[in-house]
Structure 1
Amino acid sequence: MVVAVAVALSGCQRGPSNTPAPATTGPGGCPAVLAGARAAVARAERTDTVWNGPTTGPVAVSGRTLVFVAQTMTNPGVAGVANGLREAVRVIGWQVRVIDGGGSPAGIQAAMSEAVALRPSGIVIGGFDPGSTSRQVAAAGAAGIPLVGWHAVATPGPSRRPALFTNVTTRVEDVAGITAQWIIAHSGGRAGVVLFTDASVPFAKRKSELIRANLADCAGVRLLAYENIPIPDASSRTPREISSLLARFPDTWTHSAAINDLYFADAAPAFRAAGRKGAGPPFNIGAGDGDPSAFQRINSRQYQAATVPEPLSQQGWQITDEFNRAFSGRPASGYVAPTHVSTAANSAGATAWDPPGYREAYRRIWGGRAARGPRPALPHRVSTE
């Protein structure tokens, strides 16, 4: 993911390389921590969940238009949320357009400028740091256009600086915690771990630091290496790093975690070239968006064992509902989706985590297709559904 975040998961800045360092040592396991990890993972792997989000709220207002400014539509997490938003907007009776920032600071600034110029009812900050477009954010505020973020800042909920009606994301603490707990549970409390991050993105670096701190709770888990690979460099650098790590830790490397699933897409050819079996070890988990390619690797048991996915479609529906609350003069819902762990055993061949119940709940809140009347056209055609 995909995956909140300063030109977010594009990682356009470079961070310094981190020297691989052991995080924890010890010959024994961690019985109490292991028991807690197993219980937490069992809960997170459940698929028979019930909707725990909002069930009440304002009836749908009519005739609204949204613009989704995407960090880049090549980011599967961003694209997944945009698709969920399109689906929800059709139900509520609004219009939405997507403007692709192309993953570069200049492209994102231009996309935000275009979005503000269109004077829509609301703008979505789709996966990038609003601070990188502070001038456009200020212009939107001056024009009275509410902003809703997706992975725009580090925490979910309303934000004053930058001024967001709300930010839709899972909690990074929860994602990092369940990622570490999965490794502890899967390894029986005895693992040699490599952790991949992009230290140039503060959100990503914090996630990896939290994973490392949680792994340190188990004395039987040792961090073999902490690899800083900026996401834009992942396709070129990850295969080389994997080959080096396999040479250094041929027998002790049992598990990996990464702040985004895409590292394992780039790692797969190097594992394959080294003769490693797709089903591991090392057993790899992505603390990222849970994009379709990650599910494909997991379901085919090809160099990824698990992911902590965002419910991308549900978050698109939530963004729509948050705007409806803003347009109705109501506060944000405050909903934060719980963490989930997807594996080949519980995904049933799916290519996304799509929890049950939210579509029906939002339809009931909005009163069906309640928005009627003219739907205003925006002055420039970008991408319409």
Structure 2
Amino acid sequence: MKIINIAASALLAAGLSHYHAFAQPAAQAVQAAKQPLSQWQKPPSAPPAQEGKTVYVVTCTSQGIGCVRAANGVKEAGELLGWSVRVVDGKGDPGTWNGAIQSAIAAGADGIVIDAVPPMLVGDALSKAANAKIPVVSIFNPVPDADSSVFAFVRPEHKRQGQLLAQWIIDDSGGQARILLVEDRQFPELAERVAGFKAEIAKCAKCEIVGNIESTIGTMAQRLASAVATELTRRPAVDYIAAPFDSNAFFVIEGVRQAGLKGKVKVAGYEGDPQAFEAIRNGAQAVTVANPAEWMGWQAVDELNRAFNGAKAVNMPIPSRLIDAGNVPDTKGWTGDVDYKARYEALWKRR
């Protein structure tokens, strides 16, 4: 009996050592990431606000709530400056994206915003915009390593977002998670999130990504729920599913329900959209790494105004915040905690 107790103590000590090595540092990072913003990350003083501009916003798709929210931000901020803002639904289709950009050029647009539209899939259209001297601002896409015809990139730190989600799962599972990873490889920002997530999870010796599901924004409504249910049947050990964004997580949640595993498998996402907050409140989704999409729209307008004045781009990243059941605000999505609209209005001398 004494020998058994000694062996059990050794196993317990090993388990605690594992916890302290991985889960405890993750818990500290999680608590820091859950805190509300207290300061606005102020860009340099803005040039004079240009009025009377016509701007086209090409969204990834109307099914991507984050894309819609960012476009709404562009429209609200642009109209404050007296601009005419036209939003075009990209329908998750590269052909539609290219056509919308070329239509904007033909219509004599002063500026174009591509809203989660991958630049490498609309390269010819962007080259035509550059030749027409029409500035293009990107929302969500990461800053590329090579030179780009895009004037400015408004985005969160995607790799860090992936790390945060992994740290939350490590902390929540006590360093012992079995994860199903849903990937949409069409978008570079989502690839960055996955890279950050995988790198951080790899630090946890008893955490494992046990399966992957490939999804696209254009087919997730039709295919994702059944794919998730099927995969959960094949892999009953899964206790966490990481979705690439909250609109995708909506269909992941339905797949968990179809598999009869609601409350047993925790769904995680990114972007902090309104339906994700509601799902967190009712227990269908566990966590989201939120970014203030409307704020990105306002910052895109600020970048376009700089382009119209011949000034340099700021390319300043937007903050993120980790939201779970312990800190979910009583709001429709995360908008950034600080009154960024008032700050931009003051920057543009509109108040």
Q: Give the TM-score normalised by the residue count of structure 2.
A: 0.87
* CA deviation profile, 1:179-216 (whole Å, cap 9, x unmatched): 10111111122222111112454543443233122101
Aligned twin of 1:96: 85
Aligned twin of 2:327: 346
Residue 48 of structure 1 deviates from its aligned partner by 4.5
Q: Give the TM-score normalised by the residue count of structure 1.
A: 0.80
Q: How far apart, CA to CA, are the structure 1 residues paired with 2:185 and 2:57?
A: 27
Aligned twin of 1:110: 99
Question: Aligned letter for 1:86?
Answer: K
Q: How far apart, CA to CA, are the structure 2 residues paired with 1:200 and 1:313?
A: 23
Structure 1 position 317 matched with structure 2 position 303? no
Q: How far apart, CA to CA, are the structure 2 residues paired with 1:206 and 1:368?
A: 36
Residue 85 of structure 1 deviates from its aligned partner by 1.1
* CA deviation profile, 1:353-376 (whole Å, cap 9, x unmatched): 11113112211111116xxxxxxx
Q: Rg bigger for which structure?
A: 2
* CA deviation profile, 1:254-293 (whole Å, cap 9, x unmatched): 222121223332233332244333xx3322211x333322
Query: Pairwise mapping of residues 269-284 of structure 1 onto structure 2 (< 5 A)?
Result: 269-277=254-262, 280-284=263-267
* CA deviation profile, 1:31-76 (whole Å, cap 9, x unmatched): 1332321122112111242212326222322322211122323321
Structure 1 residues 220 and 86 mapped into 2: Cα distance closer, same or farther (>3 Å)?
Answer: same
Q: Which has the higher contact order (CA 8 A, sep 6+)?
A: 1
Give the counterpart of 1:264 among 241, 249, 255: 249
Give the counterpart of 1:69 among 55, 58, 66: 58
Aligned twin of 1:155: 143
Structure 1 residues 333 and 76 mapped into 2: Cα distance closer, same or farther (>3 Å)?
Answer: same
* CA deviation profile, 1:310-344 (whole Å, cap 9, x unmatched): 21110011011111111222211231112211223
Structure 1 position 32 matched with structure 2 position 21? yes
Q: How far apart, CA to CA, are the structure 1 residues paired with 2:186 and 2:115?
A: 19
Aligned partner of residue 103 in structure 1, secondary structure: coil
Structure 1 position 365 matched with structure 2 position 347? yes
Aligned twin of 1:188: 174
Question: Aligned letter for 1:163?
Answer: S
Aligned twin of 1:13: none
Q: How far apart, CA to CA, are the structure 1 residues paired with 2:52 and 2:187?
A: 38
Structure 1 residues 85 and 187 mapped into 2: Cα distance closer, same or farther (>3 Å)?
Answer: same
Q: 5+ unaligned residues in a row in structure 1: which ranges? A: 1-25, 370-385
Aligned twin of 1:254: 239
Question: Aligned letter for 2:349?
Answer: G
Structure 1 residues 272 and 129 mapped into 2: Cα distance closer, same or farther (>3 Å)?
Answer: closer
Structure 1 position 234 matched with structure 2 position 220? yes
Residue 245 of structure 1 deviates from its aligned partner by 3.5
Moved runs in structure 1, 4+ residues, more than 4 A?
A: 200-203
Deviates more, 1:171-180 or 1:132-141: 132-141
Question: Aligned letter for 1:285?
Answer: A
Aligned twin of 1:301: 283
8 Å contact kept, 1:151–1:169? yes
Question: Aligned letter for 1:228?
Answer: E
Aligned twin of 2:154: 168
Aligned twin of 2:74: 85
Deviates more, 1:225-234 or 1:304-313: 225-234
8 Å contact kept, 1:101–1:110? no
8 Å contact kept, 1:196–1:208? no
Structure 1 residues 237 and 76 mapped into 2: Cα distance closer, same or farther (>3 Å)?
Answer: same
* CA deviation profile, 1:77-104 (whole Å, cap 9, x unmatched): 1110111111112222222111223222
Q: How far apart, CA to CA, are the structure 1 residues paired with 2:214 and 2:82?
A: 45
8 Å contact kept, 2:210–2:238? yes
Residue 168 of structure 1 deviates from its aligned partner by 0.9
Structure 1 position 333 matched with structure 2 position 308? no
Structure 1 position 133 matched with structure 2 position 125? no
Deviates more, 1:305-314 or 1:239-248: 239-248
Alignment length, in residue pairs? 336
Residue 123 of structure 1 deviates from its aligned partner by 0.8
Aligned twin of 2:209: 223
Over the aligned positions, Cα root-mean-square deviation in angstroms equals 2.3
* CA deviation profile, 1:212-257 (whole Å, cap 9, x unmatched): 221011112122222223343333443333333333443x322221
Q: How far apart, CA to CA, are the structure 2 residues paired with 1:62 and 1:259?
A: 37
Q: 5+ unaligned residues in a row in structure 2: which ranges? A: 1-13
Aligned twin of 1:292: 274
Structure 1 residues 56 and 33 mapped into 2: Cα distance closer, same or farther (>3 Å)?
Answer: farther
8 Å contact kept, 2:160–2:196? no
8 Å contact kept, 1:58–1:324? yes
Q: How far apart, CA to CA, are the structure 1 residues paired with 2:110 and 2:187?
A: 30
Residue 174 of structure 1 deviates from its aligned partner by 0.8
